[in-house]
Chains A and B, each alone.
Chain A
Amino acid sequence: MTTKQLALVIDLNVCVGCHACVTSCKGWNNAGEAGPLTDQNPYGADPSGTFFNRVQTFEVGEFPKTETVHFPKSCLHCEDPPCVPVCPTGASYKRAEDGIVLVDYDKCIGCKYCSWACPYGAREIDESQKVMKKCTLCVDRIYDQKLPEAERKPACVLACPTSARLFGDIHDPESEASRAIREQGGYALMPEWGTQPANHYLPRRKTEKHLHADELVRHDNPLKVDGKLPRPDAGEPALDDVTSW
């Protein structure tokens, strides 16, 4: 286990599926050290390009109890990444210093063993360059001293309008990411594979309101001022008419 493990914690409670993270990732990495992220048939039939991060949308439940879930997905930077040992050239590796799983393009021969080994489908072969590419957690910007500290984060994290993407060291119990996992029920995908994904997801949380009957009728109900609370006519029968003491 590395001492430090950088990761994304993705809050499904606020993700609206806007795809800002998808294209911001593409923009940064296409222009950055991990690039280019090429596109095949960009203006023709079935366009298909390399993306490090995609948003899948699925539905849960039956109408009207339907949940629509927007689910951003990228390399999970597993603590025990199955893509690494299968790599015949050592191109796929996990960094000791921060736990980021990377691909050395110069060593990659495009054999795709790693993508077969990855149970999450996180790796994509770049069809133009024939090398395997994937999320780097923007390793080329998170340590860049030329950037203000607040901007030393992955492009997807900076872009996200709902701040649904937290970034930090999940081995540091005091990090925002660790705290979110601990306090908000953060979970890893398919733990049964034993890969120990570093990225986590935060579940949907519902805020409900329970009203009590007496909250509807109060002393300051304006219908009193407006003379609209029902009052029986004085002429209607009452106990006074039938009892005496």
Chain B
Amino acid sequence: MCACRCGIRVHVDEQDGRSAVRYIEGNPQHPLNKGVICAKGASGIMKQNSPARLTRPLRRKAGAERGAGEFEPISWEEAYATLAARLAAIRRMDPKKFALFTGRDQMQALTGLFARQFGTPNYAAHGGFCSVNMAAGMIYTIGGSFWEFGGPDLERARLFVMFGTAEDHHSNPLKVAIAKFKRDGGRFISVNPVRTGYSAIADEWVPIRPGTDGALLLALVREMIEQGLYDRDFVARYSNGGQLVIADPASPRHGLLATDEGADPVNPLYPQDKLWWDRHSGRAVLSHTPGADPSLFGDYRLADGTRVRPAFQLLADRVRPHTPEWAEAITGIPAATIRRLAHEMGVTARDEKIELPIAWTDCWGTEHQTVTGNPVAFHAMRGLAAHSNGFHTVRTLAILMSLLGTIDRPGGFRHKAPFPRAIPPSAKTPTGPEGVQPDTPLAGLALGWPGSPEDLFVDAEGGPVRIDKGFSWEYPLSVHGLMHNVITNAWRGDPYRLDTLMIFMANMAWNSTMNTGEVRRMLNDRVEEGEQRGEYRIPFIVVCDAFQSEMTAFADLVLPDTTYLERHDVMSILDRPISEFDGPMDSVRVPVVPPSGECRPFQEVLIELGSRLKLPAFANPDGSRKYRDYPDFIVRHETEPGSGIGFLAGWRGADGAKSLRGEPNPEQWQRYAENNCVFKHELDPSYCYMRNWNRGYMEWAQRARLRRWGDPILVHLYSEVLQRFRLAAQGKWPGRRPPPALAGRVATYFDPLPFYYAPLEDQFTDKAKYPLAAITQRPMAMYHSWDSQNAWLRQIHTHNYLFVNPRTAAASGIGDGAWMKVESQWGSVRCMSRYSEAVEPGTVWTWNAIGKSPGAWALAPDANEFTRGFILNPVISDTLPGGTSNSDPVTGQAGWYDVKVRISPA
């Protein structure tokens, strides 16, 4: 398997008794990429042989400054001994002083397990600064999201609308699907400030101002409702649009869904006790009462006099002022275009319906002879997510998709196992500081899905327990953590200081951090007074990476990771497997060449440390080592003793005859290796659609233990979860309430209905002075900062330009190709301009992470990446005036694309 998720075939030569990679190609037998490969994958040989490889454990030389990159090699035994002693002492005193943050999400099942077993809450992968709004906004609305969680069904879609996507997690399958979709005559519309990559082949490009997609989406939702283009049958039965919301501002239950107190909730955690106003009988009935049909509009009173309104009515009221003309002023898209887009979506969904002859039964027992599809599909990525208003923007997109009746239906959006999940998913963090105890595993997961203020991870005063302030009142639904806050918070000692910060494969001293210059200073800053005078403010930094990045230079201890060609790995069903629409699928990576130098896989480091620290999951009761190595761990580890659930779903059971659940199989790795490293469970066709409400699927998923509960997952057009937090902020919630300083913020942003607000940074920006938006895109031929050490790929992107619309550039007196300055209120960068008609005039942009810091990545001192390349990060702030993070107030997603700049010749 390649560095991401595609299958590859690696041709290896034996030279002087050593294996060397000769050629890499796509594996035609692999279900994900079916033989195709991307530019990065096809250049794997140069990654493998890069001079920037780290090959020995390194210790910062005594007396050398952090960042200077002066190291001395040490043995693994010394590295392990140093680390184990340090970590054991931390664990004994206060486990939260150890923080583990990783750049990769695809190893979370193991990294998360390690952190939890260690007992620290301070763990996350990079989702918080990547695209958590995309995950949270959709999962809190439809129980699933894009990328590994689900995606557009382009096999059957007729209209495909893509928002703000340059490159994707799932890039080869997406490219395959878009090309096929276009050849089949589908219509492709791209909404993006910039026309590159995928947008280049769109039938229509709709340029938009960055950070305003929420306004466009609200106007589209409005048109859908005003024109009657919503799928009423779908909304009434499969969303909470028909459920009644208490409309009594004086009541402590204002804004919650009205319930039938006498009804059987079925599952108290996700009670099915809500009410409809039945339009046939003209009275309130239990939701989904056979024969009833909910009124979507109206204003009613329950028998006890409580005033209630259908959630759909509240949504309609919310969007009514958001006319296309209103959105035009914000987005720059002509109102007529917005109207036309809405009508195209609505009419295509309604008039080009698909009926598949697949019988299925819904969760309320109604049998359906066919599966219906409304063939309008969407996709989105950081363009929507990486703004401080992104959560509500993404939620609005999920609502639009739902009104069109496209959720888990052919031609629309489809889930990938193990999704759909309950709203919210049932994984939870501890709820207070008592969940962190010396020498004890964490009393919950480090990352979870809060459903109410009671699920927050805060102390008695409402203050954060996590170093990144995740799951606190500042960022209550920070379901992927806030890696971008860690260094700044640890440096400030806010909420406390760390002892050891371990970073795996994340370039936090360069392109993966906001405010790069300051962060580099913080990493090298020392305590000025008191007992610890002269010590680093972040006392010990461990970095594990395969390459010498900007970040490794700041480490006290560098652990050389293997490449993806040198190790075992799993795309686990416990994490983000490679499932497709028609069933769960997981995969493995097996080593094809031996490790370079003394490299060891990060997974082995964790197994080794877990064993030395005698963490319960990695040690026998007598303290002895439980697992020989990572492959042994993968085969034998079970989520609970005897659960039959492990990291890999395929070929379980002693003889390999079981799947999904079954006893450990010692031959499991061999079986995967014999089967293109992939396991797939193909679902019965009747379980492949409408899974939120599909009884057959739910029962299967419960049997397979993909899900604990089998309750239907209604689309949350109206988010009662958000309303619970708002009630708390308004002092009406019976439980936890936010600290007074944050009450206004929570009350504003925890709106149960989607809304648009200008990104937070706009509130602090003089837009006359800084009129332009500045954004980045990820080039298809580079994996963030990772590929400038690759001799082939760096010939494609040797240095970058700032792309500026010629009219915008000319107005500032900047010539094409000239040196220029791009400046925000936070900082400035010198760069070279490139005129482009493919960017809307209010935006400037560049490719992400092409510019490098001198000395890094084993490039020569005069490499173009240093002399001409640049990164935009120094003009982006990680903190807003007042001290909060430059992040979404709901999820903590980093607001990368909110910065406003001005440009001038330089």
Contact = CB atoms under 8 A, between A and B. Distances in A.
Given A66-B838, A150-B28, A159-B25, A223 B201 contact: no
B297 to A, nearest CB: 5
Interface stretch (B97-105, B858-866, B874-882): B858-866
Contacts of A18: 38-39, 171, 175, 197, 780-781
Given A64-B840, A208-B203, A16 B791 contact: no
A225 to B, nearest CB: 6
Contacts of B348: 209
B837 A62 contact: yes
A13 B182 CA distance: 8
B680 interface: no
Contacts of B179: 14, 161-164
Contacts of A26: 42-43, 792
Interface string A7-38: 00000011111111011101110011000000
A158 interface: yes
Nearest to B798: A47
Contacts of B11: 31
Interface in A175-220: 204, 206-209, 211, 215-218
Interface in B5-28: 11, 22-26, 28
B42 A20 contact: yes
B732 interface: no
B472 interface: no
Interface string A214-235: 0111100111111111000000
B351 interface: yes
Contact of A228 (B25, B35, B228): B228
Given A14-B183, A161-B176, A216 B227 contact: yes
Contact of A47 (B38, B51, B159, B795): B795
A16 B175 contact: yes
Given A162-B176, A222-B232, A16 B780 contact: yes
Given A14-B179, A215-B351, A44 B862 contact: yes
A68 interface: yes
A227 B795 CA distance: 63
Nearest to A161: B175
A222 B791 CA distance: 59
Nearest to B179: A162
A62 to B, nearest CB: 5
Interface in A29-82: 31-32, 39, 41-49, 51, 59, 61-64, 66-70
Interface in B833-880: 836-841, 858-860, 862-864, 867
Contact of B187 (A15, A31, A207): A207
A23 B179 CA distance: 20
A155 interface: yes
B838 A63 contact: yes
A62 B195 CA distance: 12
A163 B805 CA distance: 32
A158 B838 contact: no
A42 B47 CA distance: 13
B786 to A, nearest CB: 15
B205 A64 contact: yes
A59 B860 contact: no
Contacts of B344: 209, 211
A47 B791 contact: yes
Contacts of B795: 39, 47-49, 51
B641 interface: no
Contacts of A13: 182, 201
Given A14-B183, A207-B188, A222-B230, A19 B201 contact: no
Interface string B159-197: 100000000000110011011001101111000000111
B195 A68 contact: yes
A139 interface: no
Contacts of A47: 791, 794-795, 798, 864
A30 B175 CA distance: 26
Contact of A23 (B22, B42, B201): B42
A63 B175 CA distance: 26
Contact of A69 (B198, B200, B789): B200
Nearest to B858: A43
B347 A63 contact: no
Nearest to B52: A43
A151 interface: yes
Contacts of A217: 228
Q: Decide if the interface of chain A is mainly helix, strand, loop or mixed.
A: loop
B196 A68 contact: yes
Contact of A158 (B22, B35, B39, B178): B35
B296 A226 contact: yes
Contacts of B36: 20, 158-161, 163
Given A44-B863, A49-B791, A64-B205, A16 B178 contact: yes
B547 to A, nearest CB: 12
Contact of B200 (A17, A39, A48): A17
B39 A19 contact: yes
A198 B201 CA distance: 25
Contacts, number: 206
A43 to B, nearest CB: 5
B37 interface: yes
Max count, chain B CB within 10 A of own CB: residue among A27, A32, A228: A27
Contact of A66 (B188, B205, B791, B862): B205
Contact of B42 (A15, A24, A59): A24
B295 interface: yes
Contacts of B794: 42-43, 47
B368 interface: no
B200 A68 contact: yes
A64 B208 CA distance: 10
B837 A208 contact: no
A48 B863 CA distance: 12
Contacts of B37: 20, 24, 159, 161
Given A45-B864, A209-B344, A211-B344, A223 B228 contact: yes
A46 B885 CA distance: 39
A15 B182 CA distance: 11
A204 B205 CA distance: 14
Interface in B204-245: 205, 207, 227-232
A164 B38 CA distance: 13
Contacts of A17: 196-197, 200, 780
B791 A42 contact: yes
Contacts of B636: none
A47 B839 CA distance: 28
B340 interface: yes
Contacts of A32: 23
B175 A31 contact: no
A19 B28 contact: no
A13 B188 CA distance: 12
Nearest to B780: A18
Given A207-B185, A228-B228, A15 B860 contact: no
Contacts of A206: 203
Given A17-B200, A27-B42, A207-B187, A43 B791 contact: yes
Interface in B122-165: 159
A211 B347 contact: yes
16 contacts: A17-B200, A18-B197, A22-B39, A39-B795, A44-B859, A47-B791, A49-B795, A63-B207, A161-B172, A161-B176, A162-B178, A207-B186, A207-B188, A209-B187, A218-B350, A222-B232
Given A224-B228, A226-B232, 18 more contacts: A18-B175, A18-B780, A20-B36, A26-B792, A27-B42, A39-B795, A42-B791, A43-B858, A63-B839, A68-B200, A155-B25, A158-B25, A159-B37, A162-B175, A163-B176, A209-B344, A216-B347, A222-B230
Interface of B: 11, 22-26, 28, 33, 35-43, 45, 51, 159, 171-172, 175-176, 178-179, 182-183, 185-188, 195-201, 203, 205, 207, 227-232, 279, 295-297, 340, 343-344, 346-348, 350-351, 780-781, 789, 791-796, 798, 805, 807, 836-841, 858-860, 862-864, 867
